[in-house]
Amino acid sequence: MRYPVLSPDEAAALISHGETLGLSGFTAAGSVKVIPAAIARRAAAEHEAGRPFQLNILTGASISPEADSPLAEADAVARRIPYQAAPATRNALNAGRIEYVDMHLSTVAQAMRLGYLPRVSTAVIEVSEVSDSGELTLTASIGNSPAFCEQADRILLELNSYHKPELKQIHDVCTLPRPPYSGSINISSPEHRIGSGTLQVDPAKIAGVVLTHEPDHLATYKAPTPETTRIGDLITDFLESEYRAGRLPGRDCLILQSGVGNIANAALKAIGRSATFPPVKMYTEVLQDSALELIRAGRCLFASSCSLSLTDEMMREFYENFDFFRERILLRPQELSNSPEVAHRLGTICMNAALEADIFGNVNSTHVCGSKMMNGVGGSGDYARSAALTIFMCPSVAKGGAISSIVPMVSHTDHPEHDVDVLVTEQGVADLRGKSPRERAAAIIRNCAHPDYRPLLQRYLEMSAGGHTPHSLQSAFAFHLAFLSTGDMRHAQL
């Protein structure tokens, strides 16, 4: 190998206060494993000596908590972009110690090229192989790694021998030109490859290689609950009725996008059990265990994604059956996997989770009571406006019924009513297409709200001052105020 082999601490010593780092990873998949913790140790030592040490951190989406949390706990992060999921990072940004920029994931690479974001000086990237000529084989995700390496002055590699160089066979790596006149993204089907299996970088940029052998350690997703199973079944029943009525695109093969988490898993499992649909395909940002189960069962013919977000057990099965899966999976950079242009062209059916929705169809997927960030908007908005059919889903209540997920007005809007076609809770399905605000409100209250909250929501609608969208400014946040003051939205005073 022509590159210096470094310890994690030696790699961290190359980083200076005030730099902007681009870290590989899209969820824990493909996340760098050891250099971030070494940077955190460096930051702690610098702070102990009375010297400043903070960095701007850009990622693909979230990275592993083992990489993210030490940086936040060491007060090593000044600015974080575009998504996070580590409790320590969430606590720090909600306390105002980290400036957090929540962005649609498809937009990050272009924003970097146009100079809207801090310029990445060092890219820290996990690879399964590196050649003397600078040819990199990435691991279980592509994320923003191509854009980081394109912009960075210095590249530090974690060469992880756990992941196999054969992964290049399922990678479709390319970067998009800077606009204008950048041309279309010529992807006409999920299996359509437009790039290469490896990422070529200038070998002179590679400052060193840290050797690792470690799986991604994705947490096992929660087992289905009666509520999530019910939501999955309701979505499937709705899609089956739409399919029979001829209102879904691609009757020979539906193309699905699905978010992460146990509700998304339940929805995919239910669709996989359907005898109505032919096998589906996926054009999405994350493949979880449930997606590989559909592929293995022949219910998903092909899946394009940005990340293999698999539990360690499923990743082992993936490698043991690699010859089977490599014919059925592609991983792409997130500016391709999340491209609204491609989502529109393919006629995707988009399914993502919500924290709350209001009676007119606006969706909040990021903030608790309007101010406390959970994780971020992620890729849901990339697909929502452009998909052929956009479904948002959530349980109707949380915290034993003290919180209603259906409220008079969302405390924060990530997806306006114009981008939301269908809302689903375990109570039922509200098809919002072609409905006025009053008609949407009636459908959501009747079909999606928990029975404990339907009278309150109906009273709110009736007391509103009229207009096209009949809100009461005095009572719009009565549910949230009741929760903050009494711990139970059922105490709302309208």
Mind telling me the catalytic residues? 285
Q: Pairing relation of β-strands 329-331 and 300-305?
A: parallel
**Residue 109, number of CB atoms within 10 A of its CB:** 25
E strands in 195-286: 199-200, 206-212, 255-258, 280-283
Instruction: Give the HSE-up count for residue 439: Cα atoms under 13 Å, Cβ half-sphere.
Output: 6
139-174 in b/e form (b: 16+ CB < 10 A) is: bbbbbbbbbbbbbbebbbbbbbebbbeebbbbbbbb
Show the CA angle centred on residue 354, arms to residues 348 and 359, nearest 5°. Answer: 100
Q: What does each C-alpha distance from 175 to 164, 170, 206 come to in angstroms?
A: 23, 17, 19
Helix, strand, coil shares of the chain, percent, nearest 5, are: 35, 20, 45
Report how far residue 367's alpha carbon sits from residue 196's, in angstroms, rounded to the nearest whole number.
38
DSSP H stretches of helix in 339-398 = 340-346, 380-384
Q: Pairing relation of β-strands 135-138 and 199-200?
A: antiparallel
Our measurement of the distance from residue 437's CA atom to the centroid of its chain's CA atoms, rounded to an integer in Å, reads 29
Report how far residue 216's alpha carbon sits from residue 52's, in angstroms, rounded to the nearest whole number.
31
Report how far residue 71's alpha carbon sits from residue 78's, in angstroms, rounded to the nearest whole number.
10
366-390 in b/e form (b: 16+ CB < 10 A) is: bbbbeeebebbbbbbbbbbbbbbbb
